[in-house]
Chains A and B, each alone.
Chain A
Amino acid sequence: MSYYDQPLLKKPVWTWEVPLYFFVGGAAGAAAMIGVAAQLGGADKKLVRDARRLAAGGAVLSTPLLIADLGRPERFLNMLRVFKPQSPMSVGAWTLAVFGGASTAALISDAAAVVSAATGLVMATYTGVLLGATAIPEWKKHAGTLPIHFGASALASAASLLELLGHDDKALGRLASAAAATETAIGVRIEARGGTDITTRIGGMFSGPLPLILRLIGSRKTRQAAAASQLLGSLITRIAWVEAGKKSADRSRP
Protein backbone atom coordinates (compact mmCIF):
# COMPACT_ATOMS: atom_id res chain seq x y z
CA MET A 1 0.00 0.00 0.00
CA SER A 2 2.93 2.32 -0.45
CA TYR A 3 5.61 3.00 -2.99
CA TYR A 4 8.63 0.83 -2.08
CA ASP A 5 7.94 1.73 1.55
CA GLN A 6 9.11 5.30 0.88
CA PRO A 7 8.04 8.00 3.36
CA LEU A 8 5.21 10.22 2.12
CA LEU A 9 6.56 13.32 3.86
CA LYS A 10 9.87 15.15 4.02
CA LYS A 11 11.73 15.25 7.31
CA PRO A 12 11.87 18.56 9.21
CA VAL A 13 15.21 20.21 8.35
CA TRP A 14 15.50 22.00 11.69
CA THR A 15 18.67 21.43 13.70
CA TRP A 16 19.44 21.88 17.44
CA GLU A 17 19.02 25.67 17.34
CA VAL A 18 15.25 25.40 16.92
CA PRO A 19 14.37 23.34 20.04
CA LEU A 20 16.90 25.40 22.01
CA TYR A 21 15.10 28.53 20.81
CA PHE A 22 11.75 27.02 21.88
CA PHE A 23 13.26 26.53 25.35
CA VAL A 24 14.99 29.92 25.68
CA GLY A 25 12.21 31.95 24.05
CA GLY A 26 9.53 30.18 26.09
CA ALA A 27 11.34 30.73 29.39
CA ALA A 28 11.95 34.40 28.51
CA GLY A 29 8.31 34.92 27.61
CA ALA A 30 7.01 33.40 30.84
CA ALA A 31 9.62 35.36 32.84
CA ALA A 32 8.22 38.60 31.43
CA MET A 33 4.75 37.65 32.70
CA ILE A 34 6.15 36.66 36.10
CA GLY A 35 7.92 40.03 36.28
CA VAL A 36 4.69 41.98 35.80
CA ALA A 37 2.72 39.76 38.18
CA ALA A 38 5.44 40.04 40.82
CA GLN A 39 5.48 43.82 40.54
CA LEU A 40 1.67 44.08 40.75
CA GLY A 41 1.70 41.81 43.80
CA GLY A 42 4.36 43.88 45.51
CA ALA A 43 6.95 41.11 45.53
CA ASP A 44 10.67 41.57 46.20
CA LYS A 45 12.05 44.26 43.84
CA LYS A 46 15.07 42.10 43.11
CA LEU A 47 12.76 39.34 41.87
CA VAL A 48 11.01 41.77 39.53
CA ARG A 49 14.36 43.00 38.24
CA ASP A 50 15.72 39.49 37.68
CA ALA A 51 12.54 38.37 35.91
CA ARG A 52 12.85 41.30 33.52
CA ARG A 53 16.54 40.58 32.98
CA LEU A 54 15.70 36.96 32.23
CA ALA A 55 13.12 38.07 29.67
CA ALA A 56 15.49 40.49 27.96
CA GLY A 57 18.42 38.07 28.08
CA GLY A 58 16.31 35.27 26.63
CA ALA A 59 15.08 37.52 23.84
CA VAL A 60 18.65 38.53 23.01
CA LEU A 61 19.69 34.85 22.90
CA SER A 62 16.63 33.80 20.88
CA THR A 63 17.32 35.93 17.84
CA PRO A 64 20.74 34.48 16.89
CA LEU A 65 19.41 30.95 17.47
CA LEU A 66 16.59 31.54 15.00
CA ILE A 67 18.87 33.22 12.49
CA ALA A 68 21.47 30.44 12.71
CA ASP A 69 18.91 27.83 11.71
CA LEU A 70 17.99 29.59 8.47
CA GLY A 71 19.39 28.23 5.24
CA ARG A 72 20.15 31.85 4.30
CA PRO A 73 20.80 33.63 7.62
CA GLU A 74 21.64 36.93 5.89
CA ARG A 75 18.04 37.08 4.73
CA PHE A 76 16.58 36.98 8.24
CA LEU A 77 14.90 40.34 7.78
CA ASN A 78 12.75 38.86 4.98
CA MET A 79 10.72 37.45 7.90
CA LEU A 80 9.49 41.00 8.48
CA ARG A 81 8.69 41.61 4.81
CA VAL A 82 5.08 40.54 5.26
CA PHE A 83 2.75 39.66 8.13
CA LYS A 84 0.77 36.47 7.59
CA PRO A 85 -1.63 35.53 10.40
CA GLN A 86 -2.18 32.16 8.72
CA SER A 87 1.52 31.33 9.17
CA PRO A 88 2.56 30.53 12.77
CA MET A 89 6.17 31.14 11.67
CA SER A 90 5.28 34.68 10.56
CA VAL A 91 3.33 35.38 13.76
CA GLY A 92 6.30 34.05 15.74
CA ALA A 93 8.86 36.19 13.93
CA TRP A 94 6.82 39.35 14.52
CA THR A 95 6.14 38.38 18.13
CA LEU A 96 9.85 37.85 18.77
CA ALA A 97 10.61 41.22 17.16
CA VAL A 98 8.15 43.07 19.43
CA PHE A 99 9.03 40.97 22.47
CA GLY A 100 12.75 41.60 21.94
CA GLY A 101 12.26 45.35 21.82
CA ALA A 102 9.75 45.49 24.67
CA SER A 103 11.66 43.20 27.02
CA THR A 104 14.82 45.25 26.51
CA ALA A 105 12.94 48.51 27.07
CA ALA A 106 11.32 46.92 30.14
CA LEU A 107 14.70 47.12 31.88
CA ILE A 108 13.95 50.83 32.32
CA SER A 109 10.22 51.18 31.60
CA ASP A 110 7.18 49.72 33.38
CA ALA A 111 4.92 50.35 30.38
CA ALA A 112 7.24 48.33 28.16
CA ALA A 113 7.12 45.52 30.74
CA VAL A 114 3.38 45.14 30.12
CA VAL A 115 3.95 44.85 26.34
CA SER A 116 6.79 42.42 27.05
CA ALA A 117 4.49 40.27 29.22
CA ALA A 118 1.69 40.27 26.65
CA THR A 119 3.98 39.22 23.80
CA GLY A 120 5.80 36.91 26.24
CA LEU A 121 2.59 34.90 26.65
CA VAL A 122 2.60 34.36 22.88
CA MET A 123 6.30 33.46 22.96
CA ALA A 124 5.56 30.81 25.60
CA THR A 125 2.78 29.10 23.63
CA TYR A 126 3.02 29.78 19.88
CA THR A 127 5.80 27.23 19.34
CA GLY A 128 3.21 24.53 20.05
CA VAL A 129 1.09 25.97 17.23
CA LEU A 130 4.18 26.07 15.01
CA LEU A 131 4.62 22.32 15.39
CA GLY A 132 0.94 21.38 15.65
CA ALA A 133 -0.30 23.08 12.48
CA THR A 134 1.88 21.04 10.09
CA ALA A 135 1.58 17.87 8.02
CA ILE A 136 3.84 15.88 10.38
CA PRO A 137 1.60 13.15 11.88
CA GLU A 138 3.09 13.07 15.38
CA TRP A 139 2.83 16.87 15.70
CA LYS A 140 -0.59 17.39 14.21
CA LYS A 141 -2.05 14.58 16.29
CA HIS A 142 -1.27 16.72 19.35
CA ALA A 143 -2.08 20.13 17.82
CA GLY A 144 -4.55 20.86 20.61
CA THR A 145 -2.13 19.82 23.35
CA LEU A 146 1.31 21.05 22.31
CA PRO A 147 0.64 24.81 22.85
CA ILE A 148 -0.54 24.15 26.44
CA HIS A 149 2.29 21.64 26.96
CA PHE A 150 4.92 24.12 25.80
CA GLY A 151 3.26 26.94 27.76
CA ALA A 152 3.40 24.94 31.00
CA SER A 153 6.99 24.00 30.17
CA ALA A 154 7.87 27.68 29.64
CA LEU A 155 6.28 28.71 32.94
CA ALA A 156 8.07 25.89 34.78
CA SER A 157 11.46 26.82 33.34
CA ALA A 158 11.07 30.55 34.08
CA ALA A 159 9.95 30.00 37.69
CA SER A 160 12.65 27.35 38.20
CA LEU A 161 15.38 29.57 36.81
CA LEU A 162 14.38 32.39 39.15
CA GLU A 163 14.39 29.93 42.08
CA LEU A 164 17.84 28.71 41.11
CA LEU A 165 19.00 32.34 40.95
CA GLY A 166 18.28 32.45 44.68
CA HIS A 167 14.71 33.69 44.89
CA ASP A 168 13.13 31.30 47.37
CA ASP A 169 9.76 32.98 46.86
CA LYS A 170 6.61 31.02 47.75
CA ALA A 171 4.80 32.41 44.71
CA LEU A 172 7.47 30.99 42.37
CA GLY A 173 7.11 27.62 44.12
CA ARG A 174 3.33 27.73 43.65
CA LEU A 175 3.73 28.54 39.94
CA ALA A 176 6.27 25.78 39.41
CA SER A 177 4.06 23.29 41.27
CA ALA A 178 1.09 24.26 39.14
CA ALA A 179 3.21 23.81 36.01
CA ALA A 180 4.42 20.38 37.19
CA ALA A 181 0.84 19.32 37.91
CA THR A 182 -0.24 20.51 34.46
CA GLU A 183 2.67 18.67 32.84
CA THR A 184 1.71 15.49 34.69
CA ALA A 185 -1.87 15.78 33.42
CA ILE A 186 -0.64 16.47 29.88
CA GLY A 187 1.64 13.43 30.10
CA VAL A 188 -1.34 11.26 31.06
CA ARG A 189 -3.37 12.72 28.19
CA ILE A 190 -0.60 12.08 25.65
CA GLU A 191 -0.16 8.52 26.90
CA ALA A 192 -3.92 7.97 26.66
CA ARG A 193 -3.77 9.04 23.03
CA GLY A 194 -1.18 6.46 22.12
CA GLY A 195 1.93 7.98 23.65
CA THR A 196 5.10 9.06 21.96
CA ASP A 197 8.68 7.88 22.14
CA ILE A 198 11.11 7.35 24.99
CA THR A 199 12.72 10.83 24.83
CA THR A 200 9.44 12.73 25.17
CA ARG A 201 8.58 10.41 28.07
CA ILE A 202 11.89 11.19 29.81
CA GLY A 203 11.26 14.92 29.27
CA GLY A 204 7.78 14.41 30.68
CA MET A 205 9.05 12.63 33.80
CA PHE A 206 11.49 15.46 34.58
CA SER A 207 8.76 18.05 33.90
CA GLY A 208 5.79 16.45 35.65
CA PRO A 209 5.72 13.70 38.30
CA LEU A 210 9.31 13.99 39.59
CA PRO A 211 9.30 17.73 40.42
CA LEU A 212 5.69 17.48 41.63
CA ILE A 213 6.71 14.92 44.26
CA LEU A 214 9.85 16.89 45.18
CA ARG A 215 7.80 20.05 45.61
CA LEU A 216 5.21 18.27 47.75
CA ILE A 217 8.00 17.25 50.15
CA GLY A 218 8.61 20.98 50.48
CA SER A 219 12.13 21.46 51.87
CA ARG A 220 14.42 24.08 50.35
CA LYS A 221 16.71 21.37 49.02
CA THR A 222 13.95 19.42 47.29
CA ARG A 223 12.60 22.68 45.86
CA GLN A 224 15.99 23.37 44.33
CA ALA A 225 16.18 19.81 43.01
CA ALA A 226 12.69 20.19 41.54
CA ALA A 227 13.70 23.45 39.88
CA ALA A 228 16.73 21.79 38.28
CA SER A 229 14.56 18.87 37.17
CA GLN A 230 11.96 21.16 35.60
CA LEU A 231 14.58 23.18 33.79
CA LEU A 232 16.12 20.02 32.37
CA GLY A 233 12.70 18.56 31.60
CA SER A 234 11.68 21.67 29.71
CA LEU A 235 14.79 21.50 27.53
CA ILE A 236 14.48 17.75 26.88
CA THR A 237 10.79 18.17 26.06
CA ARG A 238 11.44 20.63 23.23
CA ILE A 239 14.32 18.60 21.77
CA ALA A 240 12.27 15.41 22.06
CA TRP A 241 9.26 16.81 20.22
CA VAL A 242 11.31 18.14 17.33
CA GLU A 243 13.08 14.78 17.03
CA ALA A 244 9.77 12.91 17.32
CA GLY A 245 8.58 14.89 14.31
CA LYS A 246 11.57 13.77 12.26
CA LYS A 247 10.95 10.11 13.12
CA SER A 248 7.26 10.57 12.41
CA ALA A 249 7.98 11.95 8.92
CA ASP A 250 10.20 8.95 8.21
CA ARG A 251 7.39 6.63 9.24
CA SER A 252 4.73 8.45 7.19
CA ARG A 253 3.06 6.46 4.42
CA PRO A 254 0.19 7.50 2.12
Chain B
Amino acid sequence: MSVTGFFTDATLCIGCKACEVACKEWNGIPDDGFRWSGKSYDNTLALGHSTWRHVKFVERETAVGRGGNAAEAMTWEFSSDVCKHCEHAGCLEACPTGSIIRTEFGGVYVQPDVCNGCGYCVVTCPFGVIDREPDDGRAFKCTFCYDRQKAGLQPACATACPTGSILFGDLATLERYADERIARLHSYGMTDARLWNPKETSVGGTHAFFLVRGDARDYNLPEKPEVPTVLLKKAWSAAAVGAAAIAIASLLAFRRR
Protein backbone atom coordinates (compact mmCIF):
# COMPACT_ATOMS: atom_id res chain seq x y z
CA MET B 1 0.00 0.00 0.00
CA SER B 2 1.68 3.23 -1.03
CA VAL B 3 1.52 6.49 0.91
CA THR B 4 -0.63 8.81 -1.14
CA GLY B 5 -0.72 12.58 -1.36
CA PHE B 6 -2.36 15.65 -2.83
CA PHE B 7 -0.32 18.14 -4.86
CA THR B 8 -2.35 21.29 -5.40
CA ASP B 9 -0.94 23.70 -7.97
CA ALA B 10 -2.25 27.27 -7.68
CA THR B 11 -0.90 28.20 -11.10
CA LEU B 12 -3.34 25.78 -12.73
CA CYS B 13 -6.42 26.51 -10.60
CA ILE B 14 -9.21 28.43 -12.34
CA GLY B 15 -11.37 28.87 -9.22
CA CYS B 16 -14.27 26.79 -10.55
CA LYS B 17 -14.93 25.10 -7.18
CA ALA B 18 -15.68 21.75 -8.85
CA CYS B 19 -13.52 20.23 -6.08
CA GLU B 20 -15.75 21.74 -3.40
CA VAL B 21 -18.89 20.50 -5.11
CA ALA B 22 -17.53 17.01 -5.75
CA CYS B 23 -16.36 16.76 -2.15
CA LYS B 24 -19.74 17.81 -0.79
CA GLU B 25 -21.62 15.48 -3.10
CA TRP B 26 -19.48 12.43 -2.45
CA ASN B 27 -19.21 12.89 1.29
CA GLY B 28 -22.75 14.15 1.86
CA ILE B 29 -21.55 17.26 3.72
CA PRO B 30 -24.19 19.77 4.88
CA ASP B 31 -24.23 23.31 3.48
CA ASP B 32 -21.82 25.83 4.92
CA GLY B 33 -24.19 28.67 5.60
CA PHE B 34 -25.01 30.43 2.30
CA ARG B 35 -23.41 33.60 3.64
CA TRP B 36 -22.15 36.26 1.26
CA SER B 37 -18.74 37.40 2.45
CA GLY B 38 -18.00 40.14 -0.06
CA LYS B 39 -14.44 38.76 -0.24
CA SER B 40 -13.90 38.12 -3.94
CA TYR B 41 -15.66 34.89 -5.00
CA ASP B 42 -15.01 33.27 -1.63
CA ASN B 43 -18.04 32.89 0.59
CA THR B 44 -16.79 30.17 2.94
CA LEU B 45 -13.45 31.87 3.71
CA ALA B 46 -11.87 28.89 5.49
CA LEU B 47 -11.88 25.15 5.84
CA GLY B 48 -14.31 23.86 8.46
CA HIS B 49 -16.57 21.06 9.59
CA SER B 50 -18.68 21.50 6.47
CA THR B 51 -15.99 22.75 4.10
CA TRP B 52 -13.39 20.08 3.39
CA ARG B 53 -12.11 21.63 0.16
CA HIS B 54 -11.91 25.41 0.06
CA VAL B 55 -10.95 27.46 -2.98
CA LYS B 56 -9.12 30.63 -2.03
CA PHE B 57 -9.29 33.72 -4.24
CA VAL B 58 -6.11 35.63 -3.55
CA GLU B 59 -6.12 39.27 -4.62
CA ARG B 60 -2.80 41.09 -4.54
CA GLU B 61 -1.04 44.11 -5.89
CA THR B 62 0.64 43.45 -9.21
CA ALA B 63 4.33 42.67 -8.94
CA VAL B 64 7.18 42.25 -11.35
CA GLY B 65 6.55 39.00 -13.16
CA ARG B 66 3.03 38.74 -11.78
CA GLY B 67 0.44 40.68 -13.72
CA GLY B 68 3.03 43.43 -14.23
CA ASN B 69 2.10 44.19 -17.84
CA ALA B 70 -1.65 43.78 -17.40
CA ALA B 71 -4.01 46.71 -17.29
CA GLU B 72 -5.64 45.41 -14.10
CA ALA B 73 -4.62 46.88 -10.80
CA MET B 74 -4.75 43.53 -9.00
CA THR B 75 -3.62 39.99 -9.62
CA TRP B 76 -6.05 37.20 -8.99
CA GLU B 77 -4.90 33.72 -8.06
CA PHE B 78 -6.77 30.66 -6.92
CA SER B 79 -5.81 27.72 -4.77
CA SER B 80 -7.85 24.84 -3.44
CA ASP B 81 -7.08 24.29 0.24
CA VAL B 82 -7.57 21.01 2.08
CA CYS B 83 -6.57 19.20 5.29
CA LYS B 84 -2.79 18.92 5.18
CA HIS B 85 -2.68 15.31 6.45
CA CYS B 86 0.42 16.12 8.50
CA GLU B 87 3.31 13.70 8.96
CA HIS B 88 3.12 14.58 12.69
CA ALA B 89 -0.55 15.47 13.10
CA GLY B 90 -1.55 17.50 16.16
CA CYS B 91 -5.18 16.34 16.00
CA LEU B 92 -4.23 12.67 15.81
CA GLU B 93 -1.84 12.88 18.76
CA ALA B 94 -4.34 14.81 20.89
CA CYS B 95 -7.44 12.70 20.21
CA PRO B 96 -8.25 10.97 23.55
CA THR B 97 -10.63 8.37 22.11
CA GLY B 98 -8.39 7.05 19.36
CA SER B 99 -11.03 8.18 16.89
CA ILE B 100 -8.42 9.91 14.73
CA ILE B 101 -6.17 7.37 13.08
CA ARG B 102 -3.46 7.10 10.41
CA THR B 103 -4.78 5.09 7.49
CA GLU B 104 -2.81 2.60 5.43
CA PHE B 105 -2.56 5.36 2.79
CA GLY B 106 -0.85 7.70 5.28
CA GLY B 107 -3.87 9.97 5.62
CA VAL B 108 -5.33 11.29 8.88
CA TYR B 109 -8.88 9.99 9.31
CA VAL B 110 -11.57 10.73 11.92
CA GLN B 111 -13.67 7.63 12.66
CA PRO B 112 -17.15 9.13 13.03
CA ASP B 113 -18.42 6.14 15.04
CA VAL B 114 -15.80 6.72 17.74
CA CYS B 115 -15.53 10.55 18.02
CA ASN B 116 -17.28 11.86 21.14
CA GLY B 117 -16.88 15.53 20.29
CA CYS B 118 -14.42 16.53 23.04
CA GLY B 119 -13.06 19.31 20.84
CA TYR B 120 -9.38 18.79 21.68
CA CYS B 121 -8.42 18.24 18.02
CA VAL B 122 -9.81 21.71 17.24
CA VAL B 123 -7.21 23.44 19.42
CA THR B 124 -4.30 21.18 18.46
CA CYS B 125 -4.52 21.55 14.66
CA PRO B 126 -1.88 24.12 13.67
CA PHE B 127 -3.76 24.91 10.43
CA GLY B 128 -7.29 25.55 11.74
CA VAL B 129 -8.70 22.70 9.67
CA ILE B 130 -10.77 20.42 11.88
CA ASP B 131 -13.85 21.77 13.67
CA ARG B 132 -16.80 20.50 15.65
CA GLU B 133 -20.18 20.53 13.91
CA PRO B 134 -22.48 22.20 16.47
CA ASP B 135 -25.65 20.30 15.54
CA ASP B 136 -24.02 16.90 15.16
CA GLY B 137 -21.56 17.31 18.03
CA ARG B 138 -18.66 15.50 16.37
CA ALA B 139 -15.52 16.82 14.72
CA PHE B 140 -15.21 16.66 10.94
CA LYS B 141 -12.59 17.28 8.28
CA CYS B 142 -11.35 15.89 4.97
CA THR B 143 -11.22 12.08 5.04
CA PHE B 144 -8.76 11.96 2.13
CA CYS B 145 -11.68 10.03 0.58
CA TYR B 146 -10.58 6.99 2.58
CA ASP B 147 -13.57 5.05 1.24
CA ARG B 148 -12.72 5.84 -2.38
CA GLN B 149 -9.03 5.06 -1.86
CA LYS B 150 -10.03 1.72 -0.34
CA ALA B 151 -11.94 1.00 -3.53
CA GLY B 152 -8.97 1.98 -5.70
CA LEU B 153 -10.49 5.32 -6.74
CA GLN B 154 -9.04 8.81 -6.59
CA PRO B 155 -10.50 11.29 -4.08
CA ALA B 156 -13.59 13.07 -5.43
CA CYS B 157 -11.92 16.50 -5.63
CA ALA B 158 -8.96 15.28 -7.68
CA THR B 159 -11.31 13.38 -9.99
CA ALA B 160 -13.44 16.47 -10.58
CA CYS B 161 -10.63 18.99 -11.05
CA PRO B 162 -10.77 19.96 -14.76
CA THR B 163 -7.29 21.50 -15.03
CA GLY B 164 -5.03 19.10 -13.14
CA SER B 165 -4.51 21.67 -10.40
CA ILE B 166 -5.33 18.95 -7.84
CA LEU B 167 -3.15 15.93 -8.42
CA PHE B 168 -3.51 12.77 -6.39
CA GLY B 169 -1.09 9.86 -6.29
CA ASP B 170 1.92 8.25 -4.70
CA LEU B 171 3.38 10.90 -2.38
CA ALA B 172 7.03 10.41 -3.35
CA THR B 173 6.16 10.51 -7.07
CA LEU B 174 4.12 13.68 -6.57
CA GLU B 175 6.99 15.33 -4.70
CA ARG B 176 9.37 14.55 -7.56
CA TYR B 177 6.87 15.87 -10.06
CA ALA B 178 6.39 19.05 -7.99
CA ASP B 179 10.14 19.72 -8.06
CA GLU B 180 10.13 19.36 -11.85
CA ARG B 181 7.11 21.63 -12.10
CA ILE B 182 8.79 24.34 -10.02
CA ALA B 183 11.94 24.12 -12.16
CA ARG B 184 9.84 24.42 -15.32
CA LEU B 185 7.89 27.43 -14.00
CA HIS B 186 11.14 29.11 -12.96
CA SER B 187 12.54 28.50 -16.46
CA TYR B 188 9.47 30.28 -17.84
CA GLY B 189 10.40 33.26 -15.67
CA MET B 190 7.74 32.65 -13.03
CA THR B 191 10.39 32.95 -10.34
CA ASP B 192 8.00 33.58 -7.46
CA ALA B 193 6.46 30.10 -7.80
CA ARG B 194 7.34 28.02 -4.74
CA LEU B 195 6.37 24.88 -2.92
CA TRP B 196 4.77 24.96 0.49
CA ASN B 197 5.48 21.81 2.47
CA PRO B 198 6.74 22.39 6.04
CA LYS B 199 9.27 19.55 6.09
CA GLU B 200 11.80 21.48 8.16
CA THR B 201 9.34 22.06 11.02
CA SER B 202 8.07 19.81 13.82
CA VAL B 203 5.09 19.00 11.57
CA GLY B 204 7.60 17.01 9.50
CA GLY B 205 5.97 17.74 6.15
CA THR B 206 2.44 17.28 4.90
CA HIS B 207 0.79 14.74 2.62
CA ALA B 208 -1.19 17.55 1.00
CA PHE B 209 1.26 20.15 -0.26
CA PHE B 210 0.93 23.21 -2.43
CA LEU B 211 2.51 25.22 -5.20
CA VAL B 212 1.82 28.91 -4.65
CA ARG B 213 3.23 32.20 -5.87
CA GLY B 214 4.95 34.72 -3.64
CA ASP B 215 4.27 34.82 0.09
CA ALA B 216 2.48 31.65 1.22
CA ARG B 217 0.91 33.61 4.08
CA ASP B 218 -1.28 35.37 1.49
CA TYR B 219 -2.89 31.93 1.09
CA ASN B 220 -3.24 31.58 4.90
CA LEU B 221 -0.44 29.01 4.91
CA PRO B 222 1.88 29.55 7.91
CA GLU B 223 5.65 29.58 7.37
CA LYS B 224 6.54 27.81 10.63
CA PRO B 225 3.70 25.60 11.83
CA GLU B 226 4.34 23.64 15.02
CA VAL B 227 2.80 20.35 16.16
CA PRO B 228 1.70 20.97 19.77
CA THR B 229 3.26 17.72 21.04
CA VAL B 230 6.64 19.51 21.04
CA LEU B 231 5.30 21.53 24.00
CA LEU B 232 4.47 18.44 26.09
CA LYS B 233 7.87 18.12 27.74
CA LYS B 234 7.92 21.74 28.85
CA ALA B 235 4.30 21.68 30.08
CA TRP B 236 4.55 18.33 31.92
CA SER B 237 7.83 19.43 33.53
CA ALA B 238 6.01 22.48 34.85
CA ALA B 239 3.17 20.24 36.04
CA ALA B 240 5.68 18.03 37.89
CA VAL B 241 7.18 21.10 39.57
CA GLY B 242 3.71 22.32 40.51
CA ALA B 243 2.59 18.93 41.83
CA ALA B 244 5.78 18.49 43.87
CA ALA B 245 5.41 22.00 45.28
CA ILE B 246 1.82 21.33 46.37
CA ALA B 247 2.82 18.04 48.02
CA ILE B 248 5.86 19.46 49.81
CA ALA B 249 4.04 22.62 50.89
CA SER B 250 1.14 20.57 52.28
CA LEU B 251 3.42 18.19 54.19
CA LEU B 252 5.49 21.08 55.59
CA ALA B 253 2.43 23.13 56.55
CA PHE B 254 0.96 20.27 58.58
CA ARG B 255 4.21 18.75 59.95
CA ARG B 256 4.19 17.86 63.63
CA ARG B 257 6.01 20.35 65.83
Contacts and interface: CB of A to CB of B under 8 A. Distances in A.
Main DSSP-derived SS at the B contact region? mixed
Interface in A156-214: 171-172, 174-175, 178, 182
Interface string B158-178: 000000000000000000000
B130 A10 contact: yes
Interface string B203-217: 000000000000111
A16 interface: no
Interface residues of B, number: 74
B125 to A, nearest CB: 6
Interface in A64-91: 69-73, 75-76, 78-79, 81-82, 84, 86-90
A71 B119 contact: yes
B99 A78 contact: yes
B63 to A, nearest CB: 14
Most chain A beta-carbon contacts within 10 A, residue among B37, B46, B96: B96
Given A72-B115, A81-B114, A147-B235, A2 B251 contact: no
A6 interface: yes
A135 interface: yes
Contacts of A125: 238-240, 242-243, 246
Interface stretch (A32-40, A218-226, A227-235): A32-40
A150 interface: yes
Interface stretch (A55-63, A100-108, A137-145): A137-145
Contacts of A25: none
Contacts of B131: 10, 13
Contacts of A136: 123
Interface in B9-51: 37, 39-40, 42, 45-46, 48
Contacts of B151: none
B116 A70 contact: yes
A240 interface: no
A contact face: mostly helix, strand, loop, or mixed: helix
B96 A143 contact: no
A171 B93 contact: no
Contact of B128 (A10, A34, A82): A10
A171 B236 CA distance: 28
Interface residues of A, number: 80
B56 interface: yes
A4 B42 contact: yes
B243 A1 contact: no
A134 interface: yes
B139 A71 contact: yes
B150 interface: no
A28 interface: no
Nearest to A176: B253
Nearest to A245: B123
B228 A254 contact: no
A170 to B, nearest CB: 8
Given A9-B128, A37-B253, A135-B226, A89 B118 contact: yes
A4 B125 contact: no
A154 B246 contact: yes
A6 to B, nearest CB: 5
A86 B124 CA distance: 12
Most A-side CB within 10 Å, residue of B129, B249, B256: B249
B245 interface: yes
A37 B235 contact: no
Contact of B125 (A1, A2, A10): A10
A151 B218 contact: no
Contact of B223 (A42, A144, A152, A254): A254
Contacts of B223: 254
Q: What are the 7 tightest A-B residue pairs by CB atom distance, in nearest-first order?
A: A71-B117, A71-B137, A151-B242, A41-B254, A75-B116, A37-B250, A147-B239
Interface of B: 37, 39-40, 42, 45-46, 48, 56, 58, 90, 93-99, 114-120, 122-133, 136-139, 215-223, 226, 228-229, 231-232, 234-243, 245-247, 249-251, 253-256
